[in-house]
Amino acid sequence: MTASAGNVGTTFDVVVVGGGNGGISAAARLLKKGVTDVAVLEPNAVHTYRPLLSYVGGGLADMRSAERTQRSVTPKGCTWLRDSAVGVDAEARTVRCASGHELHYRDLVLAPGLVPDSDELPGVDTAMDSPAVASNYLDAADKTWDLVQRIPVGGHAVFTVPRPPVSCTGTTMKPLFLAAAHWSRTRRLSDVEMTLVVDRPTLLDAPALDGKIRAELHRLGVKVLDETGVTGLFPADRHITVTDRRDGTVRPIPYDLLHLVPPFRGPRWLGASGLATDDAAGVTDVDPATMRHRRHPNVWGVGDAASVSTDPSGGALRPQVSIMVDNLLAARAGRTTVSDYDGYTVAPIATDARHLIAGEFTRDGALASSLPSFLDPLKPRRTAWAFDRFGLPQVYWNLLLRGRV
């Protein structure tokens, strides 16, 4: 069912904020577990399978394959409210909507996703409107591919990895590897200078995986600037300024192509509602093992905007949603939480146009490969690439969003 918040009842057994991967899969699983009165609050009419945008930006997929209507992915029996949350009163168990309507809930599931942190890096929208800046993370994957193809001989391509949180750190590096694969195929790789600006001490919090990715970057001749953040955008002059976090040194970097992944944070209404962590990330303050809010027992959180103490990813959402639903239902039955999340996540990195490292690990940095134990989990594989490009989208549309996995 699809409705505006004003055309339906205002009380639901469960209200889910966010109709992306986490929100829709949570709603579907709750319905399959017998919760019959579920509403999803989501303003967008188009649902995007975001992992596929890397391949759109690399010329290996088109936008049509990454999109469905929100109506078509909303589970049968779930009410889709085309509206957005602007506040929560956890004591009164209400959600305030942008339309002015108020929703009441028994349990609240927060999966709103992240938003660009415009306070930390102003001018992102202006930069995105300029000719040489694109981002798969900001709905401009088609533009990424266009710029990759048009970069001039001797051009400088700059790619950025922000500080946490960001949805799937591994995906922030896919644009570089897929662009390099195109330039290699077209015999232009030696004509392009590549720089990766990394606003963190390591690429990934899994030492073995981090070392492997750095070796691949070295093979391509990429200059990697660790612990360096983008702190200024000057699209008219086609340069950025970066700051070394270790000594405060600021310097400009010119570009002919900038793939910008800006710093992100949780929506500000989370903090204003008393639901966020106290740090700059501003994400939902949940117990990272149980997905339950630390102060409000009827509030739960999953996904990029939840404090789950691991690298957010679509692969991480599968166990998170399953564990959250099991624990929510256990709490309703008067039992203690029954499942714990170990921080399993995935950083799938395509090292070229047809090979990929799955990059599975837990929050302690240990590899957690789903491959047979005798196979090297760090070896780029064509089969892993094919599954990521073709298999996972089918799992997503047909299984995950329907609560079947």
pLDDT at 404: 84
Give the tens place of pLDDT for each residue, 302-321.
999 999 999 999 999 999 99
Q: What pLDDT is recorded for position 4?
A: 47
Domain range 124-263, its CATH number among 3.50.50.60, 3.40.640.10, 3.40.50.150, 3.90.480.20: 3.50.50.60
Per the CB < 8 A criterion, the answer to whether 14 and 91 are in contact is no
Residue 227 is classified by DSSP as: T
Q: From first to last of its 405 residues, what are the pLDDT tens digits of the chain?
A: 555 444 556 999 999 999 999 999 999 999 999 999 999 999 999 999 999 999 999 999 999 999 999 999 999 999 999 999 999 999 999 999 999 999 999 999 999 999 999 999 999 999 999 999 999 999 999 999 999 999 999 999 999 999 999 999 999 999 999 999 999 999 999 999 999 999 999 999 999 999 999 999 999 999 999 999 999 999 999 999 999 999 999 999 999 999 999 999 999 999 999 999 999 899 999 999 999 999 999 999 999 999 999 999 999 999 999 999 999 999 999 998 888 999 999 999 999 999 999 999 999 999 998 888 778 999 999 999 999 999 999 999 999 999 887
Strand partners, 17: 41, 110
pTM over 0.85: yes
Query: Could you give phi then psi for residue 383, rounded to 5 degrees?
Result: -65, -40
CA-to-CA distance for 21 and 315, rounded, in angstroms? 10
Q: What pLDDT score does 111 carry?
A: 98
Burial of 250 (0-12, 13-18, 19+ CB in 10 A): exposed
Q: What is the rounded distance in angstroms from the CA atom of residue 341 to the CA atom of residue 360?
A: 15
Token pair 């088609």: residue: 142
Q: What is the pLDDT of residue 8?
A: 55
Q: Do domains 2-114+266-343+396-402 and 124-263 have the same CATH topology?
A: yes
Q: Where are the domains of the chain?
A: 2-114+266-343+396-402, 124-263
Architecture of domain 2-114+266-343+396-402: 3-Layer(bba) Sandwich (3.50)
What is the three-class DSSP state of 398? helix
**Are the C-beta atoms of residues 40 and 19 closer than 8 Å to each other?**
yes
The span from the CA of 248 to the CA of 242, in Å, is 9
Q: Measured between alpha carbons, how far is 405 from 400 in angstroms, rounded to an integer?
A: 5
C-beta atoms surrounding 2 within 10 Å: 15
Contacts of 282 (CB under 8 A, 6+ apart): 265, 266, 267, 268, 270, 271, 276
Q: Which two tokens stand for residue 160?
A: 């950025």
Element (H, E) at 327: helix 314-332
Digit-coded pLDDT (tens) for 48-90: 999 999 999 999 999 999 999 999 999 999 999 999 999 999 9
